[in-house]
Amino acid sequence: MRNTLSTQLIFDLSSPGRRAARLPQCDVPTRAVEELIPAKFLAQKPLPLPEVAEPDIVRHYVNLSTLNMSVDTHFYPLGSCTMKYNPKRHERLSKLSGIVDVHPYQQADRMQGLLAILYEMQNMLGEIAGLPAVSLQPAAGAQGELTALMVAAAYFRDKGENRRKVLFPASAHGTNPASAAIAGFDCVQLPATANGLMDVEELRKLADSSTACLMVTNPNTLGLFEKQIAEVAKIIHDVGGLVYIDGANMNAIMGITRPGDFGGDMMHYNVHKTFTGPHGAGGPGSGPIAVRDFLRPYLPAPIIEKATAENGKTVYQLVTPEKTIGKVRTFFGNVGILIRGYCYLRTLGPEGVRKAAEHAILNANYLKAILKDILPAAHGEYCLHEFVASASKLAKEKQISAMDIAKRLLDFGFHAPTVYFPLVVPEALMMEPTETESKATLDAFAETIRKITEESAEFLHDAPHSLPVSRPNDVQAARQPVLSWSPKVGV
């Protein structure tokens, strides 16, 4: 049974005089606090802290923690944002003393072990991407996008070219145009074809000598592989532009195909999603970028290189690329997540990495197939790691929306899929089960959706029914969050 006290603010649990600990009588002469602390540092009056006993505190926070949904506690089919289980072995390995005890300002010759790991990580990411030059610095995927665009801008400046235009498909992640705009480029959106892929003929019309870059996610946000990607890349390269691959969906293709092989010039990874790392709610993340050799001189510093010392020993050095854009983050990036990703890759090896992608594809297609009669996918008979179902028929016939289904799933202990994205699909529910989920979990999830669609629309419109908060105004909650506590009037 849920302890409803846990959903009260700890201030509301407060009772005057209640204490978690009581100090013994002071056995030395006491002095007034005003004698010990300058007046300018003293508060005008005691802070309104809650007065609670130790059991109140422990139960409050423990119960609050159980209200949270995570990949460790719930199935989390969040499309367009891989949320897969993180093996705890990588947590343990990333906390070895030789790694966590390294000081950020330690000299390179005193942290050769850590640099050796990061050097190998650079090489593995370059090999998987098919793009040999790697910077580990960016702290997350969106920063990786911005970093790569800054590298592209530096490259074109160096060539004396003033290219302003960045193209992206209508189904692109919202961070793509945002990153391009922040990097100083003009954004131009490409329409999609009826089958959900990029419109190559429209691209041919829009690509010209002002084009700096095409940003494309492959497989795209509909879970479809852009079959004409090689032709797309040729169109951009023929006008002197660069092709940027958004690596958010690498979980579907790692070990199977490589962005560098199908025409990409730059890409970013989400190490925390594609490989491993506890993430969510804004971090921690890691977004290294991989680029072709001719872009290597512009990468952020430092890059880690291997050399041979005079005594014949192998040494790892920190190198600043000749025309670097500078630093985009401190030191080498988010090392903790990079180490976890390194452990993931070394644990699975090349065959294991490929199998992880294949299982992710299998799971997505299985879930898509068993839901097709109630939530048909918008495009294609076959998907990769994710698919976008549509509740438009349910909305029309039963007045049950994608949001109703998403909210009601929370009552059954499932995190909701991504809804209403991409915008090209009406009443969209984007689902990405990942390779780490079992058939039993997928069956239970599909059966729950089936039960939900048999419930009354009136009942679903008020879901969820079992959570402390039902349906907040999403826009108001985002723009006017209540983040501080104020005492009730008269208390």
Residue 417, domain CATH: 3.90.1150.10
CA–CA distance, 2 with 129 (Å, rounded to integer): 47
Quote the pLDDT of residue 359: 97
Measured in residues, the chain has a length of: 491
Residue type, 331: F
Dump pLDDT digits (tens) for 128-185.
Answer: 999 999 999 999 999 999 999 999 999 999 999 999 999 999 888 889 999 999 999 9
Cβ-proximal residues to 101 (8 Å cutoff; 6+ apart), any chain: none
Confidence of residue 281 (pLDDT cuts 50, 70, 90): low
**Confidence class of residue 317 from pLDDT cuts 50, 70 and 90?**
very high
Residues 273 and 337 in one domain: yes
Q: Which residues pair with 191 in a beta bridge?
A: none
Averaged confidence pLDDT in the chain:
92
Encoded tokens for 295: 């872009």
Q: CA–CA separation, 415 vs 70, rounded Å?
A: 8
* Confidence at 381, pLDDT banded by 50, 70, 90: confident
With respect to residue 491, please indicate whether it lies within any of the assigned structural domains: no
Domain that holds residue 365: 357-476
Q: Which among 309, 325, 347 is the end of a domain? A: 347
Domain assignment of residue 241, yes or no: yes
For 8, residues 6+ apart whose C-beta sits below 8 A from its C-beta are 60
CA distances from 406 to 2, 260, 422, 467, 468 (A): 22, 37, 16, 13, 16
Give the pLDDT band of residue 82 (cuts 50, 70, 90).
confident
Range in 169-183, 224-238, 355-369 the model is least confident about: 169-183
What is the structure's pLDDT at 282? 58
For 392, counting Cβ atoms within 10 Å of its Cβ (0-12 exposed, 13-18 middle, 19+ buried), the class is middle
pLDDT reading at 283 higher than 80: no
Instruction: Enter the DSSP assignment of 469.
Output: -
Residue 6 has pLDDT above 70, yes or no: no
Query: Does residue 302 register a pLDDT over 90?
Result: yes
Q: What digits encode the pLDDT tens for the residues 419-434?
A: 998 888 999 999 999 9
My answer on whether 146 and 224 are in the same domain is: yes
String of DSSP letters for 410-438: HHTT-PPPEES-STTSTTEEEE---TT--
Asked whether residue 5 carries a pLDDT value surpassing 70, the answer given is no
Q: Does pLDDT of 1 surpass 70?
A: no
- Tokens (6 digits) for 69: 């949904």
Q: Is residue 1 part of a domain?
A: no
The pLDDT of residue 280: 62
In the sheet that 186-190 helps form, which strands lie side by side, from edge to edge?
A: 133-135, 289-291, 266-268, 242-246, 211-217, 165-169, 186-190
Higher pLDDT, 279 or 399: 399
Residues 31 and 126 placed together within one structural domain of the fold: no
H or E stretch at 268: strand 266-268
Mean pLDDT within 40-66: 90
Number of domains in the chain: 3
* Domain harbouring 212, CATH code: 3.40.640.10
| Residue 15 identity (one-letter amino acid) | S
Query: Are 324 and 431 members of one domain?
Result: no
Q: Is the pLDDT of residue 41 over 90?
A: yes
- pLDDT of 246: 95
Pairing of strands 165-169, 211-217: parallel
Are the CB atoms for 74 and 86 separated by under 8 Å?
no
What pLDDT score does 488 carry?
67
Residues 6+ apart with CB under 8 A from 425: 222, 378, 379, 388, 390
pLDDT at 3: 66
User: In terms of domains, do 401 and 276 share one?
Assistant: no
Nearest to 238 by CA among 246, 248, 230: 230
**Of 463, 133, 139, the residue nearest 287 (C-alpha):** 139
The mean per-residue pLDDT over the stretch 432-447 comes to: 96
What proportion of the chain, given as a percentage, has pLDDT over 70? 97
Task: Count CB atoms within 10 A of the CB of residue 293.
Answer: 9
Which residues partner with 267 through β-bridges? 245, 290
Q: Return the DSSP state at 204.
A: H
pLDDT tens digits, 175-224: 999 999 999 999 999 988 888 899 999 999 999 999 999 999 999 999 99
CA count, 13 A, side-chain hemisphere, 212: 26
- Whether 74 is in a domain gets the answer no
Same domain for 301 and 183? yes
Residue 484 lies in a domain: no
CA atoms within 13 Å, Cβ hemisphere of 421: 15
Element (H, E) at 153: helix 141-159
Give me the pLDDT at residue 213, please. Answer: 97
Peptide bond into 302 cis (omega under 30): yes
Residues 266 and 343 grouped into a single domain: yes
Please give the average per-residue pLDDT across 361-390, as a whole number: 93
Other beta carbons within 10 Å of 460: 21
The domain boundary, picked from 294, 327, 347, lies at 347
Residues 98 and 62 in one domain: no
CB neighbour list of residue 140: distance below 8 Å, 6 or more residues apart? 270, 272, 283, 285, 286, 287
CB 234 within 8 A of CB 366: no
Mean local confidence (pLDDT), 334-354: 96
343 and 372 in a common domain = no
How high is the pLDDT of residue 196? 86
Is residue 468 included in any domain, yes or no? yes
Return the closest-CA partner of residue 248 out of 222, 268, 225.
Answer: 268
Q: Which amino acid is it at 199?
A: D
pLDDT value of residue 336: 92
Within this chain, do residues 412 and 381 fall inside the same structural domain, yes or no?
yes
With a cut of 60, say whether residue 490 has pLDDT above it. no
| Amino acid at residue number 115 | L
The structure's pTM equals 0.89
pLDDT at 122 over 80: yes
Task: Please check whether residues 198 and 315 belong to one and the same domain.
Answer: yes
Average pLDDT value for residue range 47-60: 91
Averaged pLDDT for residues 221-231: 93
Which region holds residue 352: left if phi is over 0, alpha if psi is between -120 and 50, else beta? alpha
Residue 51 lies in a domain: yes
Q: Residue 322: pLDDT band by 50, 70, 90 thresholds?
A: very high
Query: Is residue 379 domain-shared with residue 415, that is, in the same domain?
Result: yes
Burial track 74-104 (b if 16+ CB lie within 10 A, e otherwise): bbbbbbbbbbbebbeebeebbeeeebeebee
> Does residue 2 belong to any structural domain of this protein?
no
H or E stretch covering 190: strand 186-190
Domain end residue (candidates: 327, 347, 367): 347
